[in-house]
């Protein structure tokens, strides 16, 4: 968060310098929290230099814009930038995006958006399966016992019915009804449908709709692609049916028509195509592995961090699941991923030991611990190795070496739990106890080589911040935690579903860069004041409001993601900046349907922007929250 003493002029000068100067800026606008540059050449900009600028929280590249996240002081920095180059138009409207995501990027974005929310459930199930390996191995559980059978069902459930989970996630991604999506998945997994299709295939017969249109037999359990395509189809059929059904019959005719139209298309065309695509991806991966052997494991392990950066690693999840469903194990991607995770942890550990910067030592040390023990590599990747550049080379060298060793040992993964020290049991074969030794050797080779390579190659250590300047800033404006002002309740400004900020499809909000809070998908197009207070900021496009309560809470309500690009369309502010408001008063009205039709996510983050002044911010997740119902507790 920002001190009021932040020098906006210096921040603006440094930002302009790092983005290539005035000659590289085509246009500039800002929204509630970030500067949105359209640059002539993004390739000449060093993202890390921009991030090092005091006052910059992060950088994002989205929809052809180079976005620099500033936070509450964005308006002041924007004004200073315009003094330096007069980049803004007279009405400060966002420029048209000249770049669109290519089809490959869009596909990856969809897969990532659908898979990410499901991963915790899959990891939970995978860890149960790890227990089923460990407990019999140490003699605490018999494989013939009923307990073992029950735990097997618990471990397999999330994987077998994974299309249901992904269907719900995909419905959120495509902005369609989650229950229709879940119903589609459940129909495809219905025991009678599976046995009916299987019996016909065994008898050499073809199931046909209306005795004319053939239905292809396909396996949908454990699958990913078929349900994503099916929900994508649903996102077009549902609004079409909604338009053609009379209002008086909508409550019963619409649901029937949605399923009656969607399911035959899914069974006949979309589902089988999705199954073919999934099998095709698996075949390609198997072919690469068969052709290059252990070399392929080392190669993928070495470049895996860059695969993660592009988001392509999510595309491998269906492949791994398909392989395990078909053969019981996966012997390529999972091994490469294990070595990559260990390498990131080891490289970060080397940085922690070698660096003289106390903050960096602490960051690198904690990042190493999370990567090695739990397989959580984002802090190491983005906060250490990629940030310092040279440690990334050390990590890649170690990962490639470890991948070659693991490939030579023909290691296999029998689960999809995050590769790490705590999940070693998923790499142990029941009839090959020596595989425990193999996986330990593979991990040790990776860790040792990554550590030594990083330590020898070295890196440009980050100089410590000017502590005297920080101390002076603290003297000018001491930060007092509101330790005594506990139990502040913030009511919901909208009616809808409340969920964690971490699930929001925008890194600025999901990483809590602007503060902690909650997110809501509103059911109605109205925002009300969640407390008595004052409107500090009401953005001119109407999509974002900054409030301050009488108890000192600063709250940002941001309606939709990237809705600043609508330039105020479909938003109807009822108040203005500077006004005092009472709890429950209407602040904003907006047209949900038109915003969705324009292609925007209506998710509304609600952020306590001065979170650092409090001990903790706790959001209440709930499927249905009413207006003014308590959703944030501040302690």
Residues annotated as part of the active site: 31, 558
As a whole number of angstroms, the distance between CA 9 and CA 387 comes to 26
* C-beta neighbour count of 400 within 10 angstroms: 25
As a whole number of angstroms, the distance between CA 523 and CA 70 comes to 30
Joined together, the tokens standing for residue 137 give: 């191995």
Q: Rg of the Cα trace of the chain?
A: 27
As a whole number of angstroms, the distance between CA 168 and CA 13 comes to 46
Residue 555's SS3 state is strand
Joined together, the tokens standing for residue 78 give: 């924007």
As a whole number of angstroms, the distance between CA 221 and CA 223 comes to 5
Strands 207-209 and 213-215: antiparallel
- The DSSP secondary-structure symbol of 71 reads -
3-state secondary structure labels for all residues of 578-623: CCEECCCCEEEEECHHHHHHCCCCCCEEEEECCHHHCCCEEECCEE
Joined together, the tokens standing for residue 176 give: 């369609």
- The DSSP secondary-structure symbol of 42 reads G
**Contact 331/411 with Cβ under 8 angstroms?**
yes
As a whole number of angstroms, the distance between CA 379 and CA 610 comes to 24
**Contact 392/309 with Cβ under 8 angstroms?**
no
Torsion sign, CA atoms 215, 218, 219, 224:
negative
User: Who's near 240: CB < 8 A, 6+ residues apart?
Assistant: none
As a whole number of angstroms, the distance between CA 12 and CA 16 comes to 6
> Within 13 A of 412's CA, how many CA atoms are on the CB side?
14
Long-range Cβ contacts of 479-483 (<8 Å, 24+ apart): 479/612, 479/613, 480/613, 481/613, 481/614, 481/615, 482/552, 482/613, 482/614, 482/615, 482/634, 483/615
Joined together, the tokens standing for residue 575 give: 């108040």
Picking from 524, 506, 500, the residue whose alpha carbon sits closest to that of residue 623 is 500
Residue 62's SS3 state is strand
Residue in this structure with the two tokens 């068969």, named with its chain if needed: 290
User: Who's near 403: CB < 8 A, 6+ residues apart?
Assistant: 294, 297, 298, 299, 300, 301, 302, 335, 336, 339, 446
As a whole number of angstroms, the distance between CA 346 and CA 351 comes to 9
As a whole number of angstroms, the distance between CA 229 and CA 53 comes to 42
User: Who's near 556: CB < 8 A, 6+ residues apart?
Assistant: 32, 33, 514, 515, 517, 544, 545, 546, 547, 605, 606, 607, 609
DSSP H helix total and E strand total for the chain: 23, 20
């Amino acid at each position: 968060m920002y001190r009021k003493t932040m020098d906006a002029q210096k921040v603006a000068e440094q930002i302009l310098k790092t983005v290539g100067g005035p000659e590289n800026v085509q246009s500039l606008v800002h929204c509630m929290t970030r500067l949105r540059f359209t640059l002539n050449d993004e390739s000449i900009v060093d993202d890390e230099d921009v991030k090092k600028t005091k006052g910059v929280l992060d950088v994002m590249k989205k929809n052809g814009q180079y976005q620099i996240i500033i936070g509450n002081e964005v308006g002041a920095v924007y004004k200073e930038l315009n003094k330096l180059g007069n980049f803004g138009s007279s009405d400060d409207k966002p420029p048209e995006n000249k770049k669109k995501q290519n089809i490959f990027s869009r596909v990856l974005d969809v897969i990532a958006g659908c898979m990410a929310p499901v991963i915790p459930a899959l990891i939970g199930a995978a860890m149960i399966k790890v227990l089923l390996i460990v407990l019999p191995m140490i003699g605490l559980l018999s494989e013939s016992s009923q307990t073992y059978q029950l735990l097997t069902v618990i471990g397999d459930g999330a994987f077998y019915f994974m299309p249901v989970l992904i269907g719900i996630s995909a419905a959120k991604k495509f902005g369609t009804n989650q229950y229709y999506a879940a119903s589609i998945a459940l129909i495809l997994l219905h025991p009678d449908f599976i046995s009916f299709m299987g019996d016909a295939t065994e008898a050499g017969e073809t199931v046909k709709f209306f005795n004319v249109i053939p239905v292809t037999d396909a396996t949908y359990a454990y699958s990913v692609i078929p349900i994503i395509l099916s929900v994508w189809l649903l996102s077009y059929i549902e609004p079409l049916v909604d338009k053609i059904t009379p209002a008086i019959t909508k409550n019963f005719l619409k649901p029937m028509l949605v399923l009656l139209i969607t399911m035959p298309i899914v069974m006949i065309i979309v589902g089988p195509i999705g199954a073919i695509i999934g099998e095709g991806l698996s075949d390609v991966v198997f072919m690469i592995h068969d052709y290059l052997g252990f070399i392929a494991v080392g190669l993928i392990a070495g470049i895996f961090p860059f695969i993660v950066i592009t988001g392509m690693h999510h595309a491998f999840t269906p492949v791994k699941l398909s392989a395990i469903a078909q053969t019981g194990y996966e012997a390529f991607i999972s091994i490469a991923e294990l070595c990559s995770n260990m390498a990131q942890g080891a490289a970060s550990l080397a940085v922690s030991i070698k660096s003289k910067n106390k903050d960096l030592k602490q960051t690198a040390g904690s990042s190493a611990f999370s990567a090695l023990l739990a397989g959580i590599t984002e802090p190491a990747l983005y906060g250490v190795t990629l940030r310092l550049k040279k440690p990334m080379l050390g990590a890649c060298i170690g990962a490639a070496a470890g991948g070659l060793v693991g490939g030579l040992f023909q290691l296999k993964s029998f689960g999809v739990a995050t590769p790490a020290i705590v999940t070693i049991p998923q790499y142990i074969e029941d009839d090959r106890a020596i595989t425990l030794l193999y996986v330990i050797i593979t991990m040790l080779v990776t860790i040792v080589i990554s550590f030594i390579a990083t330590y020898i190659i070295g890196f440009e250590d980050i100089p410590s911040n000017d502590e005297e300047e920080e101390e002076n800033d603290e003297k000018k404006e001491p930060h007092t935690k509101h330790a005594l002002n506990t139990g502040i309740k913030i009511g919901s400004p909208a009616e809808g579903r409340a969920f964690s900020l971490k699930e929001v499809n925008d890194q600025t909000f999901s990483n809590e860069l602007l503060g902690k809070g909650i997110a809501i998908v509103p059911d109605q197009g109205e925002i009300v004041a969640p407390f008595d207070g004052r409107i500090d900021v009401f953005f001119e496009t109407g999509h974002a409001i900054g409030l301050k309560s009488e108890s000192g809470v600063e709250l940002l309500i941001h309606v939709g993601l990237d809705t600043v690009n609508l330039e105020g369309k479909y938003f109807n502010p009822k108040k203005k900046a500077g006004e005092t408001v009472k709890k429950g008063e209407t602040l904003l009205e907006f047209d949900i349907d038109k915003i969705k039709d324009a292609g925007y996510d209506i998710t509304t983050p609600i952020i306590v922007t001065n979170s650092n002044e409090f001990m903790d911010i706790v959001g209440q997740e709930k499927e249905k929250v009413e207006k003014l119902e308590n959703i944030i507790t501040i302690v």
